Amino acid sequence: MADDASIRTERRGRVAHLVLNRPKSINALDHEMALTMDNALHAWARDDAIETVVISGAGERGLCAGGDIVAIHRDGVELSNVDADGGAHDDHDAAASPSGRFWHDEYLLNEYIAHYPKSYVAIMDGIVMGGGVGISAHGNTRVVTDRTKLAMPEVGIGFVPDVGGTHLLAHVPDQFGTYLALTAAPIDGAEAIALGLADHYVPAEILDELVAALADRPAAEVLAQFSIEPPAAGLLEQRSWIAEAFAADDVDEIIARCRAVGSDFATKTAERIAAKSPLALRVALRSLREAQHDATLADSLRREYRVSLRSLLFPDLAEGIRAQVIDKDRNPAWRPAAAIDAAAIDAFFAPLPDDVELTFEVESSADA
C-alpha cells in the first residue's frame, strides 16, 4: 500500500505486518481502517505462508489513541436533539449513523481478533487507548514497553468503555478494572502485565529488532529472547483499598469509600471520578458488573453495542467531546446525578430491535 495510506501492510518471510498510519492523530481508528484491518486479517488467516501477524502504529507517540471522536461528536449532536419533525431519534437512527456503522464493524473486528488462528503480535507501544485497546488487548500475544500508556478513558467524554473493554476490565482482579473504567486513569506497561492486560515486556528501543526476528522464527521463540522482566507495578501498592472501595455497586458509594481512605492517592481518585459524567459512570459500572457474568466476549460486545448506540441519543456524549476536544474548555455541563433515575440507566441496556442487534457469524464459548 502507499506510504500515505491510513493502513500500511507488508510481508517479510513468515510475517505479515499491519501498521496503523495516522501518526498526527496518534493513529486514531476510523471505519475505513477497521474494514481494511478486517480484510487483511482474514486474507492472512487463509495464507499458509503467513505464521505471524504483527500490529503496530506509525510514529513515536503510540499504537492507537482510540476512535475518531470528532466524527462521533457530529453524530451525537444530531441524534441527541429532536429531529426535523419534532420527535426524538431512535435506535434505527443511531445504528444508521456513521458512528453506529463504525461500531458495528469495529466490534466484529474485536471479536475476530480474540479468536485469530495465528500468532497475533500487538505492539502496544506508547499510547494505547479506547479503540487501540480493542485491536490489541484481545490478541493472543500482547507486547508492552517502557513507553506504554494504556487507558479506557471513555467516561471522561460521557461515553462508556467499549470495544470489548468491559469484558477485559470485568475480569481484572481486585477491582482494578473498575478503577480503570471509572477513573479513566492510564497505566504503564508493567502495570498492564501485572493486571493481565498484556503478556510481554520489551524495551521500546529494540522493537525493530524484535519485528525483524519474527520474519524467520516462531513468535514464541522470538518473544522469549526479547522479553525482559518488567519493573515493579506501582499501582499494585494500592491493591487493598482499591479492592474494597471499588467493590461497591453504587458510584456515590465508591467515591465515598475512596475519600474515607484518607490518602492523597485515594482522595485524588475520588475527585477524578466525581469530575466524570454521572450518567456515563453509572452506565459503565453496571456494564462492568454485567460483564462479570458473560460467558463470551461476544456477549459483552453485544451489550456494548446497545450502550454505544444509546449514548448517541443522550447529550452527555456530544457535550463531553465538545469540552475535551472541540472547544477544549474542559468544563462539560453533565446531566446531574439527581436527574438520573433507574429508568434512564435501564434504557441503555434494553434489547435493540431484531434488525439492529449486533450478531456474529460464529460465537465461541471459549472467550477469555
- 62 is known as an active-site residue: no
Residue 254 domain flag = yes
State the catalytic residue, choosing from 131, 156, 177, 320. Answer: 131
In this prediction, residue 85 carries a pLDDT of 62
- 154 is known as an active-site residue: yes
Q: Where would I find the beta strands (DSSP E) of 185-272? A: 200-201
DSSP-derived 3-state class of residue 368: coil
The average pLDDT across 231-250 equals 97
Residues with Cβ < 8 Å from 92, sequence gap 6 or more?
353, 356
In this prediction, residue 38 carries a pLDDT of 98
- Centre a 10 Å sphere on the Cβ of residue 144 and count the other Cβ atoms it contains: 31
Residue 358 domain flag = no
pLDDT at 8 > cutoff 50? yes
In this prediction, residue 84 carries a pLDDT of 62
Q: How far apart are CA 241 and CA 262, in angstroms?
A: 10
Reported confidence tier of residue 279, pLDDT bands at 50, 70, 90 = very high
In this prediction, residue 1 carries a pLDDT of 47
Burial of 363 (0-12, 13-18, 19+ CB in 10 A): middle
Residue 352: all three cell numbers together: 435493540
pLDDT at 83 > cutoff 90? no
Runs of H (alpha helix) within 97-232: 98-114, 131-134, 165-170, 176-183, 189-194, 207-213, 219-226
User: What's the number of domains the chain is made of?
Assistant: 1
The average pLDDT across 18-44 equals 97
State what percent of residues in the chain have pLDDT above 90: 93
Window from 68-72, 114-118, 145-149 with minimum mean pLDDT: 68-72
In this prediction, residue 2 carries a pLDDT of 54
Torsion of CA 323, 328, 330, 334, to 10 degrees: -10
pLDDT at 86 > cutoff 90? no
Nearest to 152 by CA among 297, 55, 287: 287
DSSP-derived 3-state class of residue 133: helix
Nearest to 266 by CA among 241, 234, 232: 241
The average pLDDT across 294-298 equals 96
State the catalytic residue, choosing from 57, 66, 67, 132. Answer: 67
State the catalytic residue, choosing from 51, 91, 111, 154. Answer: 154
Residue 354 domain flag = no
Residue 353 domain flag = no
Residue 296 domain flag = yes
State the catalytic residue, choosing from 68, 162, 304, 316. Answer: 162
Cα distances (angstroms) measured from residue 6 to each of 16, 113, 156, 233: 17, 19, 27, 34
Rounded to 10°, the helix 297-312/342-349 angle is 120
Residues with Cβ < 8 Å from 361, sequence gap 6 or more?
none
Residue 307 domain flag = yes
Torsion of CA 86, 89, 92, 95, to 10 degrees: 140
CATH of the domain at 95: 3.90.226.10
Residue 360 domain flag = no
- 67 is known as an active-site residue: yes
Q: How far apart are CA 177 and CA 194, in angstroms?
A: 12
- Radius of gyration of the chain from its Cα atoms, rounded to whole angstroms: 20
**pLDDT tens sequence across 124-174:** 999 999 999 999 999 999 999 999 999 999 999 999 999 999 999 999 999
The average pLDDT across 308-319 equals 96
Residue 355 domain flag = no
What domain range includes position 88?
Answer: 5-347
Q: How far apart are CA 230 and CA 202, in angstroms?
A: 8
Reported confidence tier of residue 88, pLDDT bands at 50, 70, 90 = confident
Q: How far apart are CA 90 and CA 41, in angstroms?
A: 34
C-alpha 88, offset from chain centre: 29
- 10 is known as an active-site residue: no
Q: How far apart are CA 267 and CA 256, in angstroms?
A: 10
**pLDDT tens sequence across 185-210:** 999 999 999 999 999 999 999 999 99
